[in-house]
Structure 1
């Protein structure tokens, strides 16, 4: 870990020039004391890093120092920098690793391409935190301790003990065999088996996790894409789910799609609206989701949903009639 941090420190100084110990500590997520020790270690190893005193001082490398690496063409480097420009730091708790990798990608480029590729990457924005309607993306928080334990168990192929809080239930300890990790719309899931039965756990509901020494019971090869499709299909077909036919204004289409469990059919309707056949978890979920859209949506079926929305609207109208 320290070797990686020393490399990152050198790359930061190469790419940004003079930096204070406080700035380096913030970038590397360590204390300023650790930065000072790392600077001493680099100097002892022959890396030409020096300190500048004064108000605008800091640490810098002697001009011209670099370790030349080649092999990435312009489009390959641009693809990596663009992928790292979104909210990738939130994926599976790999924020520090992503930042370090991006610094290495930039430093790996020949001088002639480094500036042009970095400038080009600034022209692309991936998954901003708000859309055109100023709606903020909802990102579920997963503690770093939980994410590290889960990730290690998945990669090492060991059993995992999790303290999991299912919906509307107190947390309970469970021992599972982890298969893989999936992220969908900024929600992270653990695919696993428990006593041989398929299980899918939302990581934001994992209160604590511990990697166990026993090997996990799982196949050597895995097709996560196929497993996710199969589990998604079972989820959409199970429980007390309800199918709803609805007309939606185009400005609210994405909102209702993000709320529904699944989209079964979509077709254009009159006035530029969309006609959608959706499934929701139950009738209460459907009523809540469509109520949020106000007059920008109309439930066409089932009839009991139309009655529920009418009664709710009538009660609200009565409240404000006076």
Structure 2
């Protein structure tokens, strides 16, 4: 890890010309003392880094210290920078690795290509956070801990079984052992495709609380078509089971919260009081009741009637419980 940090320090100085110890510490997420030790190590290794004193001082490299990557043309470099603008790598815990890799690629380009490629990349926006109607694109609020996703990645790549502590919607977390097939990211949400006791299973990475790569090999085929597997599972998920369609009213500021838990959101319209009227599909009756209860009092189920009755019964019980002092 220190070797990677030293390389990143050199590349930061190459990109910015001069940076203070505090600025380097912030970018590298280490202490100022660590930065000073790293600078000493680079100097001892022959890297021409020097310190400039004064109010606007800092560390810099001697001019001309560089190596150039000559195998990339302008369009190839631009394609890499655009790929790096996509947020999917963050779902797999690779966001910092991708940023570091792109920094190395950009830095190693010849001078004539570096400025034009970086400038062109600024003219392209990939996967913005809002759509054309200024509606925020639904995404996971919680990022997956790096230690967890690292264990998942290693098990997937090594072909080992995986033990995960998983919290399904509306249920208590449970440990389970699975055979991982691959990883998928959809709109910044990462998923683990796996089998459990021979049955297909799909787990959202943000709901894996802990993970442990096991030494025994996974029971899985040598080759897998993830694209086809994902399409097949998505189709079964949308069309199978006891899915429940709920017509509801919702305050607009809670739409994202609903989008994160519902399977599908239908067309919506704005009522005179400003609330949204739309249909949401849930995995089963328990999922529907749990989701609407979490949104109370910002959501009102209009149908089906059994859901209204169930929510009324639960609310009445809570009101009775707190009606008198303890």
Compared CA separation, residues 220 and 170, structure 1 to 2 (3 A): same
Indicate if the aligned counterparts of 1:140 and 1:187 stay in contact, CA closer than 8 A: no
- Tell me which residue corresponds to 2:238: 236
1-structure distance, mates of 2:262, 2:177: 31
| RMSD value, Cα | 4.0
- Tell me which residue corresponds to 1:112: 112
- Tell me which residue corresponds to 1:169: 171
Indicate if the aligned counterparts of 2:139 and 2:260 stay in contact, CA closer than 8 A: no
Q: How does 1:207-286 map to 2 (within 5 A)?
A: 207-242=209-244, 261=263, 280-281=282-283, 285=288
Compared CA separation, residues 292 and 72, structure 1 to 2 (3 A): farther
Structure 2's unaligned 5+ residue stretches are 249-255, 268-277, 310-326
Q: How does 1:141-180 map to 2 (within 5 A)?
A: 141-180=143-182
Compared CA separation, residues 158 and 30, structure 1 to 2 (3 A): farther
Give secondary structure in 1 for the equivalent of 2:221: coil
- Tell me which residue corresponds to 1:19: 19
| Pair 1:67 & 2:77 matched | no
Indicate if the aligned counterparts of 1:189 and 1:202 stay in contact, CA closer than 8 A: yes
- Tell me which residue corresponds to 1:201: 203
TM-superposed CA distance for 1:50, in Å, is 0.6
2-structure distance, mates of 1:162, 1:145: 12
1-structure distance, mates of 2:246, 2:173: 33
- Tell me which residue corresponds to 2:312: none
TM-superposed CA distance for 1:203, in Å, is 1.2
Structure 1's unaligned 5+ residue stretches are 247-253, 267-275, 309-322
| Pair 1:30 & 2:26 matched | no
1-structure distance, mates of 2:121, 2:39: 30
Indicate if the aligned counterparts of 2:50 and 2:61 stay in contact, CA closer than 8 A: yes
- Tell me which residue corresponds to 2:319: none
* Bigger RCO (CA 8 Å, 6+ sep): 2
TM-superposed CA distance for 1:255, in Å, is 11
2-structure distance, mates of 1:86, 1:34: 31
Q: How does 1:50-129 map to 2 (within 5 A)?
A: 50-88=50-88, 90-129=90-129
Question: CA deviation digits over 1:208-249, x for unaligned, max 9?
Answer: 111122222222212111111111111112221246899xxx
TM-score (norm 2): 0.76
Indicate if the aligned counterparts of 1:140 and 1:186 stay in contact, CA closer than 8 A: no
Give secondary structure in 2 for the equivalent of 1:93: coil
Instruction: Out of 120-129 and 48-57, give the one that drifted further.
Output: 120-129
TM-superposed CA distance for 1:15, in Å, is 0.9
Question: CA deviation digits over 1:110-153, x for unaligned, max 9?
Answer: 11111111111111222233442456744442112211111121
- Tell me which residue corresponds to 1:314: none
